[in-house]
Chain A
C-alpha cells in the first residue's frame, strides 16, 4: 500500500476536525463580525459545552442515544444563556470598548475555566457515543488490471465520525438559512451594517447583541457536544480550539462567514494531515507565525476582499 491511502485516511480524520472547528470558528466570527468583539473566552464556552454534555448524559440512563440527544439540545442552550448573561452583565456595561472587552473576556476565561476545575474536577471524563460502528475504509485504484477496489485494507473509521461531519454541514447550512432568510437574521445583518441606524429603526440593539453573543457561544458548545464522544471532557480543553479558531477566523478574513468555513476546512485538513506526517509542535509554530504575518501584511485575511 503506498502513500495515497494514508493521505485519504489522514484527510478523513482532518475532515472531522474541520467540521468541529468550522462550528467553533463561525461562532467566533459571528460575534466579531456583528459586535466587533474579540471573545477570548470562546474556548471556555466550547469546554463548558463538553462538560454539560457529560453531566446530562450521566444523569440520564437508558440507551446512550437518549442522553446524547438531550445533551445536544440542553448543553448549547445553557451555554448560550450563560454567554448572553455575561454580555448583559459585563460587556454591555463597558460599552464594548475594545481594550476593556479583551481584558474582561480574559477574566471570563479564567472564571469559567477555574470554576469548572472546582466543580467538575481535574479529570478527563468520557461521554459514550450514541452509535459507534467500525467501518473499514475502501480504497479505489486504477491498477494494471483496470479499476479495482481494495477492502478492507487496514484503516477504518467509525460511523459516529462520519455523522459528526454530516451534522456540522447541516448545522452550518441551517445557520446560513437563518441569517439570510429569516427576520431575525435580517435584524442581525442590519445591526452589523450600522448600529445607530438600526437603533433609529427601532431594533433593540442591546438584545440583538446578547442574542448574537449567546448564539456564538452556543455554536462552540454544539461543536463540543459533537466532539466529546471522540475526545472526552476536560477543564483545559478550551485552549487549543481557541487558538485554532483564531487562526481560522483571521486567515478566513475577520468577520467573513464563508471565508471562515473555507479556512476551517483548510486548517482542519492540514492539521490532520500534518500531524500524521510531521511533529505537531513544529506545525503549530508555523501556523501561529502564519497568522501573525497574515495580520501584519494582509489584514483582510487570505480570502477577504476589503478591510475588516
Chain B
C-alpha cells in the first residue's frame, strides 16, 4: 500500500499547506489565494468532465453563472438568507447541468463542444435580456449586511479565506474520493475507450450524464460561493472568456490529475494578474499559454510530473 501512503501524504501537504499559507502571506496575496481556491473548485469541476471523462466543454460559464445568479438573485430579489440562497444556487446549477447534459450528450466530439458553447451563449444573452432583474453587464452588488451565515460575517478577509479554504478542502476531498471510486474509474475507462466500456456492460450514457451533473454542480458551487464571498455578480462571468478559463487552468495544471486544477489556477491567476499590470491586452498571455501548452506540454504541469517522475500521482 505504498501509493496509499504517498496519496495521503500529498493530500495532507496540500491541505495543511494552504491553511498555513494564510499566516505567511501578506494580506494582498492571501486575498488572491482565497480567489484562487474558489476558482480551483471551478477548475476541479471542469476537470471531472474534461480530465476524467474526456468531454471537452466550451460552456462551463453557464454552470458557474447558474450558481452565481441562483444565489445572487434569490438574495437580492427575494431577500432569502445567505445559507439557503447557497443551496438554491447549487440547485440551479444541478438543474441547468442536468438539462444541458441531457441534450448535449446526444452529440460527440466537435459537435459537443459547439453545443455546449451555444447553450452557454444563449444563457449569457438571457442574462442580458433579463437586465431588469440581473442588471446585465453592470451587475448586482450584494449588501454587506446580508453576506453572513448565522453569526459568521463572510465579507471579512479572514473568514473569507477560511470559507474558501473549507470549500476547497471539501471539493478536493470529494474529487480524491471520486477518482479512486468504482464510478470514477469507470469514467476513466470511458475516456480511454468508450466502446470497450460499453461492451463491458457499463451504461456509458448514464455515467457521462452523471459526470456532467457533478461537474456542473461543482462549478455552480464555485459560482455561488464567489458571489457570496465577494458580493458581486455580473454578466461578465457568463461570457465565453469564463468558459475558457477553466479549460486553461486544467490544461496548464494537468488534465486528469487531482492537484492540476489548483496548480493551473494559481499559475494562470498570477500570470494574468502580472500581464494586466503591463498592458490592457492581458489576454494575450492566455492565448500564448494555450498554444504553448498544446505544442509543448500537452499533459500540463502535474501530468508531466506524473509522466516523468511521480508515477503514483493521483
Contact = CB atoms under 8 A, between A and B. Distances in A.
Interface stretch (A154-162, A221-229, A291-299): A291-299
A129 B282 CA distance: 34
Interface string B56-71: 1010000000000000
B290 interface: yes
Interface stretch (A76-84, A92-100, A206-214): A92-100
A99 B286 CA distance: 17
A45 to B, nearest CB: 14
Interface string A270-308: 000000000101101100110111011101000000000
B279 A118 contact: yes
B295 A93 contact: yes
Interface stretch (A62-70, A101-109, A138-146, A172-180): A101-109
Interface stretch (B30-38, B90-98, B120-128): B120-128
A232 interface: no
A104 B290 contact: yes
Nearest to B129: A281
A108 B107 CA distance: 26
B303 to A, nearest CB: 14
Nearest to A94: B294
Interface in A100-129: 100, 102-104, 106-115, 117-118, 122
A274 to B, nearest CB: 14
Contact of B118 (A38, A291, A297): A291
B290 A288 contact: no
A94 B295 contact: yes
Interface residues of A, number: 40
A243 B284 CA distance: 21
- Taking residues whose C-beta sits less than 8 angstroms from the other chain, chain B's interface range is 35 or more
Nearest to B109: A98
A291 B119 CA distance: 9
Contacts of B294: 90, 94, 100, 103-104, 107
A99 B110 CA distance: 8
A52 interface: no
A250 interface: yes
Given A38-B110, A106-B244, A292 B103 contact: yes
A115 B58 CA distance: 23
B110 A296 contact: no
Given A102-B56, A103-B247, A243-B121, A111 B103 contact: no
Nearest to B111: A295
A97 B295 CA distance: 11
B103 A296 contact: yes
Contacts of A106: 244, 247, 287, 290
Interface of A, helix, strand, loop or mixed by DSSP? helix
B288 to A, nearest CB: 6
Nearest to B286: A110
Contacts of B128: 281
A115 B287 CA distance: 10
Contact of B283 (A90, A100, A104, A114): A114
B280 A107 contact: no
Given A99-B56, A292-B122, A295-B115, A107 B281 contact: no
Given A90-B295, A284-B125, A292 B118 contact: yes
Interface in A194-214: none
A160 to B, nearest CB: 31
A249 B140 CA distance: 37
Shortest Cβ-Cβ A-B pairs, 7 listed: A110-B287, A107-B290, A114-B284, A111-B287, A107-B291, A114-B281, A292-B118
11 contacts: A93-B295, A107-B287, A111-B291, A115-B281, A118-B281, A246-B114, A281-B129, A289-B118, A289-B122, A292-B104, A296-B115
Interface of B: 56, 58, 103-104, 106-107, 109-111, 113-115, 118-119, 121-122, 125-126, 128-129, 244, 247, 251, 279-284, 286-291, 293-295, 298
Given A107-B291, A246-B118, 6 more contacts: A38-B110, A103-B293, A107-B287, A107-B294, A109-B287, A111-B287
